[in-house]
Amino acid sequence: MMLKETAAHERRAFLKGTVAAVAAGAFPILGANDRVNVAVVGMGGRGRDHVRFFSALKDRCNVRGVCDVNQAARERAVAQVEKLTGGKPKQFSDMRALYEDKEIDAVSIATPNHWHSLATIWACEAGKDVYVEKPASHNIYEGRQMVAAARKHKRMVQVGSQSRSIGHKKKAMALLAEGVIGEISMARGLCFRLRKSIGHTPDEPVPPGIDWDQFLGPAQIKPYSENKYAYNWHWFWDTGNGDIGNQGVHEMDICLWGLGRTAWPKSVASTGGKYVWRDDQQTPNMQQAAFDFGDAGLTFDCRNFSSPPEGGGPIQGTNFVGNIFFGTDGYLVVDPNGFQVYKGGKREKTLDEKAQEGEVWTPEPHFVNFLDAVRSRDRTILNADVEIGVRAAAYCHLANIAYRVKRTLRVAQSSGRFMDDEEANALLTRNYRKPYIVRRQV
């Protein structure tokens, strides 16, 4: 169902008004002891996780709103908040109506990937601070616009790269910077997540209670089917980014963190394909990417079939995700369970650090860090500021673009655009659908 012109006009007027309010300092600054009023946008599985995480931080925040295009999801979320906190949050079917609510200080975005950037930009323009799930953006262009909006409107924007708040990973990265394995020559990211084929689901009428137009948002109109909705939107190019942009973006961020790289690579190549499965999925189930910096390299391996761990790390149930850093004096392996350092030709283990109890997967420190930044108004304390999250996502996008055009791409250091390849450059952005447009002026 399309938005009516009057509603669209009202929303545009709202955004203009909120921009003026931000510029005039009309939004209050929280004191050190104030609790942050939070609303969660996107009430699927991850959104319900966000409700649970924020509800556990009752001394720091209140869950005052829930938003989803699915009425049933909203109702489940309200019941969850009531059970966890005893309070009843407001319901919103349209995030723009939520952003009008002056009671809400911050929003936590757990929508599908193709909504992350626009939802963040609109929130910044409305004077809200933002916690947004990874990957920060659906494409490279809109990631840049997220950073611009956050800076222009002086908003705290934390991306859900929770490795940045986990103790043993922070220690491992600090040791790399100190030279524990000498000069680093290469980082390797590993994303082995066992998944099943999604099969085929037919196009059908939109189920009652779902606003399909708003679900698609910036994406072009297409018929509803079960596989295009719920979790499987990850495997379609117009709503997701495949597993390299789903789980893999965490390991990509750690690669860049350990390498200390903040600029573009000189070139990127990516191979792979969708093998064996005959289903609706568009993204690859096996993908290898290589980035060349000239003085160091980064390789990434993403696989949805049963795979052994690398670097001596343990199998994590049916999966293995982690990173290996290679240096002149040895190598370091880091995964959710800890990290190890191996030295010399005999690969002697010189350090073996385990994750602290309860810290293997928990994102709680990341949410606490976000709320601390909201109260302090100091973005420098954010562990995964929007620039960090956008950079990690951009590398996943580079790999996907190289995969889709099936050739090695040279990257201009000054702009991040591809040299002499307009087909690849066209994939730096998307064809946005009105009124869901990521504008050049935010």
CATH of the domain at 201: 3.30.360.10
φ, ψ of residue 299 to 5 degrees: the values are: -120, 150
CA distance 137 to 116: 6
208 has pLDDT over 70: yes
Helices (H), 242-285: 248-259
Q: Please give the residue range of the domain that contains residue 319.
A: 166-209+228-357+392-423
Q: Are 236 and 368 in contact (CB under 8 A)?
A: no
DSSP string, 105-130: -EEEE-S-HHHHHHHHHHHHHTT-EE
Give the pLDDT of residue 358: 74
pLDDT at 25: 42
CB–CB of 105/129 below 8 Å?
Answer: yes
Burial state string for 76-94 with b = 16 or more CB within 10 A and e = fewer than 16: bbbebbeeebeeebebbee
Task: Check whether the bond before 135 is cis (ω within 30° of 0).
Answer: yes
Q: Are residues 112 and 174 in the same domain?
A: no
pLDDT in tens, 36-66: 999 999 999 999 999 999 999 999 999 999 9
Determine, yes or no, domain membership for 195: yes
The answer to whether the CB of 164 falls within 8 A of the CB of 366 is: yes
What size, in residues, is the chain? Answer: 442
Residue 223 lies in a domain: no
Please indicate, yes or no, if residue 62 is contained in any of the structural domains: yes
Largest CA distance in the chain: 71
- The pair phi, psi for residue 370, each rounded to 5°, is -60, -50
- Whether residue 133 contacts residue 246, with contact meaning beta carbons closer than 8 Å, is answered with no
Is residue 241 included in any domain, yes or no? yes
d(CA 323, CA 326): 10
Q: Is residue 64 part of a domain?
A: yes
pLDDT of residue 301: 98
Name the average pLDDT for the chain. 93
Specify if 433 maps to a domain: no
State whether 397 and 413 are in the same domain: yes
Is the bond leading into 265 cis (omega within 30 degrees of zero)? no
Other beta carbons within 10 Å of 435: 16
pLDDT class of 243 with cuts at 50, 70, 90: very high
176 and 268, same domain (yes or no): yes
* pLDDT value of position 28: 46
The identity of residue 225, as a single letter, is S
Write b or e for each residue in 17-27: b if 16 or more Cβ atoms lie within 10 A of its Cβ, otherwise e.
Answer: ebbeebeeeeb
Which tokens in the block code for residue 69? 């295009």
Tally of domains in the chain? 2
- In the block, tokens 């099936």 appear at 406
Q: For position 23, what pLDDT does the model report?
A: 43
Least confident of 4-8, 226-230, 356-360, 366-370: 4-8
In DSSP terms, 62 is beta-bridged to: 37
Together in a domain, 88 and 203? no
The answer on 15 and 43 residing in a single domain is yes
**Average pLDDT for residues 105-109, to the nearest whole number?**
98
Same domain, residue pair 133 and 173? no
The pLDDT > 70 percentage for the chain reads: 93
Mean pLDDT of 303-327: 91
Question: H helices of 44-90, where?
Answer: 45-55, 71-85
Query: Which residues, 6 or more positions from 180, have their beta carbon under 8 angstroms from its beta carbon?
Result: 327, 329, 330, 332, 341, 351
- Interval 80-101 mean pLDDT: 98
The 10s digit of each residue's pLDDT in 123-152 is: 999 999 999 999 999 999 999 999 999 999
Output phi, psi for 192, to 5 deg: -105, 95
For the segment 149-189, what is each residue's pLDDT rounded down to a tens digit?
A: 999 999 999 999 999 999 999 999 999 999 999 999 999 99
8 Å CB contact between 106 and 130? yes
Residues 111 and 234 in one domain: no
Q: What is the pLDDT confidence band of residue 29, given thresholds at 50, 70 and 90?
A: low
Q: Would you say residue 260 has pLDDT above 60?
A: yes
Let me know if residue 193 belongs to a domain: yes
Residue 292's pLDDT is what? 98
What are the Cα distances from residue 98, in Å, to 17, 64, 84, 160? Answer: 15, 10, 22, 21
248 with 191: CB under 8 angstroms?
A: yes
CATH number at residue 25: 3.40.50.720
Does residue 371 share a domain with residue 327? no
Find the DSSP H helices in 161-210.
Answer: 167-178
Residue-by-residue DSSP string for 30-43 = PPTTPPEEEEEE--
